[in-house]
Structures are given as structure tokens and as C-alpha cells.
Amino acid sequence: MDFTSELNFGAKLPEVILCKFGEVVLKGANRQSFEALLIKELRRRASRYGVFKIYVKQSTVFIEPESAECDMEGMYSAARHVFGIVGVNRAAVCDKTMESIIKTVKEYLPSRLLGKRTFKVDAKRADKRFPLTSPEISREVGGVILGLVRGLRVDVHSPDVTVTVEVRDEHAYVRSGQESGAGGLPPRSSGRGLLLLSGGIDSPVAGCMMAKRGMEIEALHFESFPYTSERALEKVMTLAEEMCEFTGKMYVHTISLTHIQEEIRDRCDEDYFTLLLRVFMMRLAERCAGEYKCSALITGESLGQVASQTLAAISVTDSVVDMPVFRPCIGLDKNEIVIEARRYGTFDTAILPYEDCCTVFTPRHPKTQPKREGVMAELAKLDVEALLDEAYATLKTEIKSIYN
């Protein structure tokens, strides 16, 4: 069958999006279940951009537009944000003949090679019945390309661009270059975690890093109105929306800590304010995680970054909950976290100058090497369970999603 006539969208060459798996290929007997999750996520995202046929063949995900109205640019960008995919490219489709391949190379590649100085051709012959070998295909296509763009030369070691010709079972594909995908594992392949989402740089990065490992993310934000503003809460919701470009969908829960912070201020030693607040946060987060079927808590803490993130302080706050606490940023410095925040698109929002609850009633000399006994003695000054119940009753939930 002539594929170019099968998908003849005007004068434009028919294109598909090809997605390459990452570590999914190492999953052995469980590989199909990981692939199924990946395809499900791509299909959910594709609904925003038109009708696409999405399937796996020969260790590659094919995303084929069903009509000229499909938004290929939008779908291409969406695919690059799906965890589990390491490489994404657009490719022209043609028949499995050298005549068709050469014709496609001449029509499809010149605009994609402008501004490049060097190239190489990488041919992949999955269909071994094809009469030419991979090196022979590369030589023929390379000779054609040299005549297409003036000044372009071959460099097989470090070219500016690699042109790939793939000859598969049904069709041939011509593409130039490949952009990196999000990597990691497919969404919802590693359980569900509850992210303690502040308005800072670190916690959105932590959430995205755990989502990259296949974890479905829900978020819990603590506010302290009127000490924190509506703009601060809007900032957090914007961060959640930005994270959804990678997570797809998030339930964002909000709990008020206002009365808890006032009680701590009025009854406890100032040096313990931050630690006591963290204890309440962890206890409330554990309760929220249990109600919403999350198996772990996630925080953006980096060891030693602030007083509440020393080893001693982390040990104290961990001791008040009975579920795992994941801290994917624990060994990163601030510059490394900023790089990740830029990559996930949350940095510009995170640095907006709106306060969060951790900046309310900040002690002048916070405890950096606390003992659990000292923290418990301070907690004994409070009606902890009543305060937890009162705060949890303020819980509200919003849904953020990029799906239609």
C-alpha cells in the first residue's frame, strides 16, 4: 500500500511522532504492563490535540495523526513531557523503496538541515528483506544530502545533526535529530505519594522527581491566613498547574495552620517554633495520606540547607510518622535544585515574592541539633490532638489537570 496516499494531508508529507522507551525495556516479564501505562498516558494527553492512533511496535511508540486537523506541534511537546520516554522525534513516512526514501529525503530534510555544518546518516534496517544493507542505505542517502545543502559536510564522530532512516516491517521513516524525553518510568507505575507542597523552589522539584520514578503525585499545602495572603495560595496553585505538564493531574489539598501557629507562639519556647510546626505538618500529612490512599510522604528538604533540615531535625520529624518519607532533593545543593526547577518549568513562579507559612513567627535562634525529648516536652504544652483535629477539618481540595 502507498502510505503517502493513505495519509495524504494536502501537499505536506505525512508525518508520525516516534517515541523511544527508556528503562521500560529492562522490565522483562512486566514490560507489557509498563508499556500499557505509557500508552494510556499518551492517549489521555492526545485528546487535546486531535485524533491520533497510538501503538507500540518494535520497541517504539508510534503516534499517527488521523487527519490534517491534528496539532502535531502540541502532541510532540506533550510526548516530550511524558515520563517513561527518553527520545522523541517527528519523522516523514514513505514506502519501503530506495526511490521513495530518496524522494522523501529531498522533500523533508532541506529545511531541517539549514544552519548545520556537519551531519551523518544512521540507517536502521529492521526488515532484513530490504535489498540494501544499513551501510549501503547510509551511503546513498548521504550522497543525496551532500547535494541538497551547500557547505554541509560529513562528520561521523560528532555531527551537528544525525539523519536517521529506519526501514521497518511496513514503512520507512526519515527523520533528523532527536529531542530528549522526560525519562524515568511511566505515570502511576510506582504507587501514590503525598507531596508537601510549599511555595518555594524545592518541593515542586521533589514532586516531579518522584513522578519521574512512576509515582502518582497528590499535594498538600499548608496556609496561614491572614498571615499568608491569597496571592501566596494562588502561587502554589500555579506551581501545581505547572507540575501537571509532567504529572498530568494532581489533587491539591490545603489545610490551615493559623491556630496551630498561634498556639505554638503563645505557649512554647521560641527556639522550637519551626520544629514544632514541622511535627504538626508531618502528622497532618500522614492523616491526609491515609485518607487519600498515599503510601509515602514527599518533601523538598535538602540536608543542611536550613535549620529544620539538619540531620538531627529531620530525625525528629521523621519519628512522629509511621510511613516512608521520600526526600529526592536531599543530596542536591541549591544550584542543582534550581537547574531542575528550570527544567520542570516551575522556577519563575517559585521565586515570586509571596510568603508561606514557614516564614510566619520565625525564631531568631532556631534549634539546629534538637533532641526528641526536648521537642516532646514542648509539645506537651499543647493540646496536640485537638489542634490536629481542628486543622484537619479545614482541609479543602482542588483538582489540577491538563487532560480534557
Q: Do β-strands 85-94 and 15-21 pair in parallel, antiparallel, or remain unpaired? A: antiparallel
User: What are the tens digits of pLDDT across the range 29-48?
Assistant: 899 999 999 999 999 999 99
Burial 133-169 (b: 16+ CB within 10 A, else e): ebeebbebbbebbeeebeebeeeeeebebebbbbbbe
Q: pLDDT at residue 28 above 90?
A: no
The total number of residues written for the chain in this structure: 404
Q: Which CATH number is 192-401's, of 1.20.1260.10, 3.40.50.620, 3.30.950.10, 1.10.510.10? A: 3.40.50.620
Q: Which CATH number is 3-180's, of 3.30.2130.30, 1.10.287.3510, 3.40.50.150, 3.40.50.720? A: 3.30.2130.30
N- to C-terminal Cα distance for the chain? 35
User: What are the tens digits of pLDDT across the range 66-123?
Assistant: 998 999 999 999 999 999 999 999 999 999 999 999 999 999 999 999 889 999 999 9
Confidence of residue 12 (pLDDT cuts 50, 70, 90): low
Report the 10 Å Cβ neighbour count for 385: 9
Give me the pLDDT at residue 384, please: 97
- Among 16-25, 54-63, 101-110, 351-360, the least confident range: 351-360
- Domain boundaries defined on the chain: 3-180, 192-401
Q: Name the burial class of residue 171, with classes exposed (0-12), middle (13-18) and buried (19+) by CB atoms within 10 angstroms of its CB.
A: buried
User: What are the tens digits of pLDDT across the range 230-246?
Assistant: 999 999 999 999 999 99
Q: Is the dihedral of CA 334, 338, 344, 350 positive or negative?
A: positive
User: What are the tens digits of pLDDT across the range 267-317?
Assistant: 999 999 999 999 999 999 999 999 999 999 999 999 988 878 899 999 999
User: What are the tens digits of pLDDT across the range 348-379?
Assistant: 999 998 777 776 677 777 888 989 999 999 99
Q: In whole angstroms, give the CA distance from residue 222 to residue 260.
A: 11
